[in-house]
Amino acid sequence: MIPNHPHHHHHMYQTQSPTDFSDGFPFHSVSPARLNNISPSIDIDQSFYDSLSSLNISNHDDQDRQVFLPPRLNRAHGGAGSPFRGEGFGSNNGFEESFRASNGVSYNQGVYSGVGHSSARTVDPFLQQRTSSSSRFDLDFDQMSYLLAKERLYPTQLLNSYRNLRSINHPASISDESGLNLQTRNYNRNPNLQNYSYFRHVSLHDLRGRIRSLAKDEIGSKILQSKFDTPTSEEIDIVFSEVVGSVSDLMKDPHANYLMQKLVSVCDDNQKAMIIRELTDRSDEIILVCMSQYGTRVVQKLLENLTSHHQLMKVIRALQPCAAQLANDPNGHHVLQFCLLHFGCDYNQPILNQIANNCFKVATDRSGCCVLQACVEHSHGEVRTRLISEIMANAIQIAEDPFGNYVLQHMVGLQSPELTALLVSQLQGNFAYLSQNKYASNVVEKCLIESGPDISANIILELVESPTAPSLLVDPYGNFVIQSALKVSKGFAFSCLRRLILGNVHSMQSNLYGKKILEKMEKKRIIHS
């Protein structure tokens, strides 16, 4: 993983606040003047027009359109792989999805949490890609009027139900009694799905023929998920038969991916085999899905639920040709890390070999350096030896890289004396040079602090005997190395280091970095006096 360091630039991301919608459906108000002055067309049911006309809607300017939300907003729906409560599946788990760039994958109540960069970053599908307006539930106004009447949503009841609602300008937010922040959204894009309370009572059997288009709609996806909490085998078959021909497209969709995550968690081995075949028949199909910010979640959920050795190996072999490309992709690397963390080295050998073939390219990438750390940590035998050999062959260049230096620090941090000794021998003769590099200086410090007294003493002696040793005392990065050397040095190594510092006191007293070293040495002298 990427550790913190006092003289490093760190990449931090902010998490988005989760939002939720519960029972009921939002209404966007229309100017009363406009509503009352429009004559009904021949396509609009007269009773529906009369119902809308009878609503006592307060007068607002068209530029100040309002959103009315139902009063019961106290049910929180937490969803797998969703940054919005109510967007993903599963209820009341309060899960906030995060992608982290650490060597770990966590599961919260069976819900996927991937690995991404060093701080939590919530993916907001609503900010990335809005719902396609082409996904419509084909109901005309006559049918909608019938549905409104069927649910007893008459004009008088509508007025009474919403009279006391708090109205807010769009975009804005309100909070329910539990303090959950709720952000309004524009549901006017798909008016035929506004009667959410009706569709909650429709069975999956009644929705046959429309499941694929519903899955790609923001509200339609929620409707389908709510009906898929504890599906029967017949319901699984209904959904599967309609989506199996569009697996990769739905996995990459900002709304349909939630249904797909749920489907791969409950379908049987034969159905999983068909999904895998759809993804792997074309060599690049599964790669494109893995590189999608939505598809990567579904592939990991699929891998999590595979029980067949044959199916698992088929997926891993499909990933192998583009393993280096996936390792360096901000979404694809999550899939590789999932495999490395959850499956044995024997399963992952095709991926490990491909990473070893592209070791330097992967080590010097923001995402790839995390994958390479996981490869070293979770491999053994011949393939691990090959990985380490490739890293050592480029150790100096990797140490100087903004991301590669973390790979070497991680290797030292594994507390393997053989591995640390191998790295130190590879860097030997270059420690003074590396100490003045912004990134490589971290590697030198790590070796000093965690390599043991014998190895650290040899590094210190190399530093003080270097022709550039005096410049290290006043260098923006070298001074940190000298401070670490003071911390761990003993006996002869400390005497040599002290002699170097005392011989350059004059230049150090007028230098910001030199003063820090003098302060550190004074503290050590007081402690050991």
pLDDT in tens, 425-434: 999 999 999 9
Asked whether 382 and 389 are in contact (CB, 8 A), the reply is no
Architecture category of domain 394-529 in CATH: Alpha Horseshoe (1.25)
Q: What is the 3-state secondary structure (H, E, C) of 98-157?
A: CCCCCCCCEEECCEEECCCCCCCCCCCHHHHCCCCCCCCCCCCHHHHHHHHHHCCCCHHH
Q: Mean pLDDT, to the nearest integer, of 256-283?
A: 95
Q: First CA to last CA across the chain, in angstroms?
A: 39
Helix, strand and coil percent figures for the chain, each rounded to 5 = 55, 5, 40
Query: What pLDDT score was predicted for residue 202?
Result: 80
Per-residue confidence band for 521, with pLDDT thresholds at 50, 70 and 90: confident
Per-residue confidence band for 282, with pLDDT thresholds at 50, 70 and 90: confident
- Mean pLDDT (the chain) is 74
Give the Cα separation of 70 and 50 in Å (integer). Answer: 22
- The lowest-confidence range among 147-161, 270-284, 373-387, 465-479 is 147-161
Asked whether 323 and 355 are in contact (CB, 8 A), the reply is yes
Query: What pLDDT score was predicted for residue 377?
Result: 95
With the C-alpha atoms ordered 53, 56, 59, 60, is the resulting torsion angle positive or negative? negative
Per-residue confidence band for 263, with pLDDT thresholds at 50, 70 and 90: very high
Asked whether 336 and 368 are in contact (CB, 8 A), the reply is no
By C-alpha distance, which of 147, 187, 156, 191 is closest to 45?
147
Per-residue confidence band for 495, with pLDDT thresholds at 50, 70 and 90: very high
Q: Where in the chain is the domain with CATH 1.25.10.10?
A: 394-529
By C-alpha distance, which of 112, 113, 117 is closest to 102?
117
Asked whether 294 and 125 are in contact (CB, 8 A), the reply is yes
Per-residue confidence band for 346, with pLDDT thresholds at 50, 70 and 90: very high
